[in-house]
């Protein structure tokens, strides 16, 4: 009896997932199933997980078709998005170049502490001791 009810609830969630384009929270509300229960089924029931994955794939196909539709309608934003995500191998990416040097000297280079005064060395040691127990 309980197994039959569970099977009906899973079927209801799957139907609701299709209607909600794979949005779990919406599907769970429609099917009157908690999100916790949904994710437990996803974890424990391989067949259920495969069906959910298939719905997610269908949703992705649908969304991609909508993107292509917008590109065909000359949407600059859709075209740029597509090129940034699918055209990376052809150089359509945004990059930030960060120079990790200080006046040509690499940041990781050694520092000569002998040039520091005793007062500065003591202050550094004190600061290091104070921060030793703090998580990084």
Q: What is the pLDDT along the chain (136 residues), one digit of tens a residue?
A: 678 899 999 999 999 999 999 999 999 999 999 999 999 999 999 999 999 999 999 999 999 999 999 999 999 999 999 998 888 888 887 776 566 666 666 666 567 778 888 888 888 888 888 877 666 5
In a domain, 27, yes or no: yes
In a domain, 98, yes or no: no
In a domain, 6, yes or no: yes
Identify the CA nearest to 13 among candidates 103, 23, 57: 23
In a domain, 103, yes or no: no
| pLDDT score at 44 | 95
Q: Which two tokens stand for residue 36?
A: 């916790």
Q: Is 31 exposed, middle or buried (0-12, 13-18, 19+ CB in 10 A)?
A: buried
CA 2 to chain centroid, in Å, comes to: 36
Task: Quote the DSSP letter at residue 34.
Answer: -
Number of domains in the chain: 1
Cα distance between residue 37 and residue 111, in whole Å: 57
pTM of the model: 0.61
**Spatial contact of 78 and 64, defined as CB atoms under 8 Å apart:** no
Place of tokens 């099917």: 31
Q: Encode 37-68: b = buried (16+ Cβ within 10 Å), e = exposed.
A: ebeebbeeeeebeebbeebeeebeeeeeeebe
In a domain, 23, yes or no: yes
| pLDDT score at 130 | 82
Q: Which domain holds residue 62?
A: 2-90
Cα distance between residue 79 and residue 68, in whole Å: 9
Q: Which two tokens stand for residue 112?
A: 């000569």
In a domain, 96, yes or no: no
């Amino acid at each position: 009896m309980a197994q039959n009810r569970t099977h009906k609830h899973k079927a209801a969630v799957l139907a609701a997932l299709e209607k909600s384009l794979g949005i779990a929270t919406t599907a769970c509300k429609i099917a009157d199933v908690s999100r916790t229960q949904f994710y437990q089924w996803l974890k424990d029931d391989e067949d259920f997980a495969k069906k959910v994955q298939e719905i997610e794939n269908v949703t992705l196909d649908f969304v991609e078709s909508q993107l292509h539709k917008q590109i065909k309608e000359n949407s600059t934003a859709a075209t740029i998005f597509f090129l940034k995500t699918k055209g990376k191998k052809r150089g359509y990416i945004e990059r930030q170049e960060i120079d990790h040097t200080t006046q040509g000297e690499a940041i990781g280079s050694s520092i000569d502490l002998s040039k520091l005064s005793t007062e500065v060395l003591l202050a550094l040691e004190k600061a290091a001791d104070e921060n030793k127990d703090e998580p990084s």
